[in-house]
Amino acid sequence: MSGPAVRFGLPLTAALAAAGLGVATYLTVVHYAHQPIACNGIGDCQYVNSSEYAKLAGVPVALLGAAAYATMLIAAAAAWLRRDPLLLVLAWGVALASFAFSAYLTYIELRVLDAVCVYCVVSALVVTALFLVLSLIVWAARDDVFGDGVAATEALDAT
């Protein structure tokens, strides 16, 4: 795994995941501490984060987000250090699932709750950036991730 997309993309991925982890950790801490969320009058964070949609099977979505960001951070850092394409695919898969879930939650905010949480918007932007950056990296490293195709083509030709 080499090239500018990988060389610059994986550190960028780690930085974005760390930022997302910070946001999700803050929301998780205030949830369990039963503290109000500091929104500074921007949106209605308290309403959004105390709604029935703020938990999935009894687990705060902020905690799920923190786990996803931590997974992406660790996988991206390990893929960068070990040059392991499978770890890159793991990070991309978590980013894809997180992006889809974030899109669902954004829909809930805008169409169901009719309220917006600024931290949720920041998290949605971060996870979108992560998904795009990781998609670019996987595309750039596709020969390492999926094989170069030559061996597979030769194997098919031999049959």
Output the pLDDT for position 137.
Answer: 92
Which CATH code for domain 4-158? Answer: 1.20.1440.130
What does the pLDDT look like over 5-26, one tens digit per residue? 777 889 999 999 999 999 999 9
Most confident of 6-10, 34-38, 127-131: 127-131
Average model confidence (pLDDT) across the chain: 89
- Write 2-9 long-range contacts (CB < 8 A, 24+): 2/83, 3/140, 3/141, 4/140, 5/136, 5/137, 5/139, 5/140, 5/141, 6/80, 6/137, 6/140, 6/141, 9/133, 9/134, 9/136, 9/137, 9/140
Would the pLDDT of 153 be above 90? no
pTM (predicted TM-score): 0.88
